Structure 1
């Protein structure tokens, strides 16, 4: 079962945190590959969802959520993902780091839910 956009990951899910610094090379190719990898990940067993952001300076953070460690490891080993990772090392990234951790708690806050809108 995948999380809907904005949903929180369940307790004990695996969060894979990918922090990367982009090069300026091949922006269009990077965007295509990123979209393809997001779609492919979403079809994998145990995939729960993803959050991603990238700044104008090229620093990006993507967190993918997995039901368990085996699912996260299977994604890392997926042949198409591995091939795209190799292209990323050669072309799209100056550096990256990956951290895998277990979700022990998650919560959110929404301004609209916290207080009613009031006229000025």
Structure 2
């Protein structure tokens, strides 16, 4: 079950992939997931994709943590590779989480 995310920052990444270099994309995505998890202020990730469309939510302790991740050299290089190879387009939104709760069928 998801944890309470109240007070965290969420970065919403919505994208459509080109379909090119699926293996390279998967390797880069795995590497970025591992690298993000090592960053100060990282609080988790949720992601879903279907038919080339994807939504990834990454959670951060604060704005400074999210900005530091954006500026990380390996992340920046992978972002440029994504623009050149893997994405048709993407949109990124950043928001503060004012309320958070979850439910799960036992």
Tell me the TM-score normalised to structure 2 length. Answer: 0.97
User: Which position in structure 1 is the counterpart of 2:37?
Assistant: 42
Instruction: Pick the structure with more strand per residue.
Output: 2
User: Highest relative contact order (Cα 8 Å, sep 6+), 1 or 2?
Assistant: 2
Encode CA deviations 1:17-55: one digit per residue, 9 max, x unaligned: 000001110000000000000000000000000000100
Instruction: Select the residue among 89, 92, 96 that pairs with 1:95.
Output: 89
Alignment gaps of 5+ in structure 2: none
Is 1:17 the counterpart of 2:12? The answer is yes
Aligned length in residues: 106
Q: Using the alignment, how far apart are the partners of 2:15 and 2:4 within structure 1?
A: 22
Structure 1 residue ranges (4+ consecutive) displaced by more than 4 angstroms after TM superposition: none
Instruction: Report the 3-state secondary structure (helix = DSSP H, G, I; strand = E; otherwise coil) of the residue aligned with 1:18.
Output: strand
Alignment gaps of 5+ in structure 1: 1-5, 113-120
Q: Kindly tell me: are residues 9 and 22 of structure 1, through their superposed partners in 2, closer, same or farther at Cα, counting changes over 3 Å?
A: farther
| CA RMSD, Structure 1 to Structure 2 (Å) | 0.9
Tell me the TM-score normalised to structure 1 length. Answer: 0.86
Which is greater in Rg? Answer: 1
**Structure 1 contact 22–95 (Cα < 8 Å) conserved:** yes
